[in-house]
Structure 1
Amino acid sequence: MSRRELIDPEVAVPLDQLLAALPGGFNAVPDIVQRRATVQAMLAGIEIPENPNVVKEDRTVPGPEGEPDITVRIYKPAHATGTLPGIYYIHGGGMILGSVDGEDPNATYICDEVQAVVVSVEYRLSPEHPHPAPVEDCYAGLVWMAKNAAELGYDPQRLAVYGASAGGGLTIATALLARDRGGPQLTFMMPIYPMIDDTNTTASSHEITDIGIWDRSGNIEAWAWYLGGKPADQYAAPARAEDLAGLPPAFIDVGTVDLFRDEDIAFAKRLMAAGVPTELHIHPGSYHAAETFAGEAALSRRIWALRLDALRRALT
């Protein structure tokens, strides 16, 4: 059976439209600069009205020591009172694509629905900036957010980190750095279908070859660019981490038709074995980022409802 046949019919519609417009999907565009421009052009064509319930501000903050400053976008509920929880947001894109602008709708949505201060980080991308530049940028942004809790108006005792795909891998890696460096205390982490295993040896990494969204060949290419010819450590590929104890409570979700399915399930089981409270959801018929491509589908609404509920419970 083709893996395409396993996709939920409702979320398959926008995927089919994408493949009709761009055969092979985004990874079929070989030049990374052109690929980024293609993604940006697609996103620019989607009109999303501004949410009046959320106030946004872009700010330049210190990057890693000796490295360039980084940009963060701060989201605050417009009408909230009192001290709010905080969510540090790391965008996805396979370590080679993505931006704060590209995930502005999701960050805005989370800010409004959870009533939290959200800080979204613009980290350097590969292949121009291989590991450890992206994760060091993410960690620097988290440190800045933690140091400025009072100004930002959130409770530092209620701080979560959230990210999907590459952002999910960076979420875990940033939490590992915070643990190992004695950095900011995290209440919760939500790595969504995280990209964490550079070996490409799981069953699902061999199954997902022609979906059109983050297939095997694209994943292999992205890992090669991200590692830049150097061996992976646990901060590049968190599946390699030997000790997971001391990480914050976690929520992980992944679809059955997602290349990252098996590495994410295995990692969630290891978190549980290490004593980390972990909630795991596996969504039948969901491909990588289906809830973003088909936001109005019933499956997507279920996925988002579970995430929002978990964030509210963790941060209340």
Structure 2
Amino acid sequence: MTPARPALDPDLHELLADQPLMTTLTPELLAQLRRLPTPPVDTLPTRRRFERRELAVPVADGTPVPLSVLTPEPADPADLAGPAAGAPCVYWIHGGGMVMGDRHSQLDIPLEWLDEFGAVVVSVDHRLAPEATGTALVEDCYRGLRWTADHAAELGIDPARIVLAGISAGGGLAAATALLARDLATPAIAAQILICPMLDHRNTTTSSHQYAGGPGVWTREMNEFGWRALLGDLPDEEVGPYLSPALADDLAGLPTTYIDTGSAEVFRDEDTDYAARIWAAGGQAELHVWAGGFHGFDALHPQAPISATARRTRTEWLARTLASTRATSPR
């Protein structure tokens, strides 16, 4: 018997009715989904014009890590938020269940911050499971982040205002990358934004069981597929926090964190628990659970009123956070 579920937001319910839904993923279906095109970056709506560069971070022991760097043109020649003054940077990690997506996926989200704050957006193209397994994905994300920080002056970035952000699987990889950066003591991260992050491979929460056994945007069965693809044959006892961040024993020392999720989604409980554990460790986190929001609602349907509110709230938080980091940044 399927457990009772929180009701969907009425506007989202109407929009979801026209959307093709799935219960699980298979290798055949994954191959089809991977062939779907990502919207070209140049077609995404922005107020500011930007320069786009495609780079590849050299890696001595593996495949180079591709990065897209989107640098805004100043809104005004005297705009001190522009790259000449050292812009904030949003280092973006795309979603896709660890098994699909690319560095151009969901870029409309960080492009809002390029518009609003003149942020340089750096988006990483990490490898995908099951072709790559274990920590390969987070290592790609970390290498790209480390390169970005090391080349901050060249990129026009203020190294004290690098924000790590990701959605869904990208949110989980962002959390793992933040843990890795903390443990290696480099690079400095001003903040992390985790949007409906995929944090826990165990799939044992109440919300995980609530969203099993029926079609959805991202179900318990689809989540199991993604985690199996990433972990391969790795025994449970060898899965660590750089793979499944919810396993981290200590969440102290992380950058200030923004987490949002929906009440009607599979990751709700692991996301709220992660915020609570940051607080318990003495850290700072802001948590939003959007009533009636399903997984990735504001990425899939940004026109819905609840989506607009979620995006605006996130941007307002980032404005406060960047103002704080600018105030404390050495000149």
TM-score of the superposed pair, with normalisation by structure 1: 0.91
Query: Is 1:132 aligned to residue 135 of structure 2?
Result: yes
SS in 2 for 1:285: coil
Residue from 171, 175, 178 that aligns with 2:174 = 171
Q: Is the deviation greater in 9-18 or in 181-190?
A: 9-18
Q: Which residue of 2 aligns with 1:73?
A: 68
Shift of residue 102 of structure 1?
Answer: 2.3
Query: Is 1:162 aligned to residue 158 of structure 2?
Result: no
The amino acid across from 2:160 in the alignment is: Q
Residue from 100, 103, 115 that aligns with 1:100 = 103
Shift of residue 14 of structure 1?
Answer: 3.2
SS in 1 for 2:269: helix
Query: Is 1:153 aligned to residue 156 of structure 2?
Result: yes
Contact 2:192 2:257 in 1 (8 A): yes
Query: Is 1:216 aligned to residue 220 of structure 2?
Result: yes
Shift of residue 203 of structure 1?
Answer: 0.2
Shift of residue 46 of structure 1?
Answer: 12
Aligned-partner Cα distance in 1 for 2:155–2:41: 30
Unaligned runs of 5+ in 1: none
Aligned-partner Cα distance in 2 for 1:76–1:122: 17
TM-score of the superposed pair, with normalisation by structure 2: 0.87
Shift of residue 64 of structure 1?
Answer: 4.5
Shift of residue 63 of structure 1?
Answer: 4.8
Q: Is the deviation greater in 23-32 or in 223-232?
A: 23-32
Count of residue pairs brought into register by the alignment: 310
Task: Rate the CA distance shift 1:45–1:285 in 2: closer, same or farther, 3 A.
Answer: farther
Aligned-partner Cα distance in 2 for 1:162–1:202: 24
Task: Rate the CA distance shift 1:64–1:236 in 2: closer, same or farther, 3 A.
Answer: farther
Aligned-partner Cα distance in 2 for 1:199–1:258: 16
Aligned-partner Cα distance in 1 for 2:130–2:298: 27
Aligned-partner Cα distance in 1 for 2:27–2:305: 31
Matches within 5 A, 1:21-100: 24=22, 27=25, 30-37=28-35, 40-41=36-37, 43-44=38-39, 48-51=43-46, 53-80=48-75, 81=82, 82-100=85-103
Q: Which residue of 2 aligns with 1:16?
A: 17
Aligned-partner Cα distance in 2 for 1:26–1:190: 28
Q: Which residue of 1 aligns with 2:246?
A: 239
Q: Which residue of 1 aligns with 2:318?
A: 311
Shift of residue 298 of structure 1?
Answer: 0.6
Aligned-partner Cα distance in 2 for 1:195–1:204: 13
Aligned-partner Cα distance in 2 for 1:77–1:2: 47
SS in 1 for 2:13: helix
Contact 1:72 1:121 in 2 (8 A): yes
Q: Which residue of 2 aligns with 1:301?
A: 308
Query: Is 1:118 aligned to residue 145 of structure 2?
Result: no
Deviation string 1:169-188 (CA, Å, 9 cap, x unpaired) is: 11110011111112101111
Residue from 240, 261, 271 that aligns with 2:268 = 261
Task: Rate the CA distance shift 1:242–1:49 in 2: closer, same or farther, 3 A.
Answer: closer
Aligned-partner Cα distance in 2 for 1:240–1:193: 17
Residue from 164, 180, 183 that aligns with 2:186 = 183
Shift of residue 29 of structure 1?
Answer: 7.4
Q: Is the deviation greater in 284-293 or in 45-54?
A: 45-54
Contact 1:244 1:274 in 2 (8 A): yes
Shift of residue 241 of structure 1?
Answer: 0.3
Aligned-partner Cα distance in 1 for 2:254–2:40: 39
Aligned-partner Cα distance in 1 for 2:7–2:142: 38
Aligned-partner Cα distance in 2 for 1:197–1:236: 9
Aligned-partner Cα distance in 1 for 2:131–2:290: 34
Deviation string 1:140-178 (CA, Å, 9 cap, x unpaired) is: 000010011111112111111000111111111001111
Aligned-partner Cα distance in 1 for 2:249–2:141: 22
SS in 2 for 1:281: strand
Contact 2:24 2:225 in 1 (8 A): no
Q: Is the deviation greater in 209-218 or in 169-178?
A: 209-218
The amino acid across from 1:11 in the alignment is: L
Contact 1:291 1:303 in 2 (8 A): yes
Task: Rate the CA distance shift 1:296–1:152 in 2: closer, same or farther, 3 A.
Answer: same
The RMSD of aligned alpha carbons is 2.2
Aligned-partner Cα distance in 2 for 1:13–1:309: 28
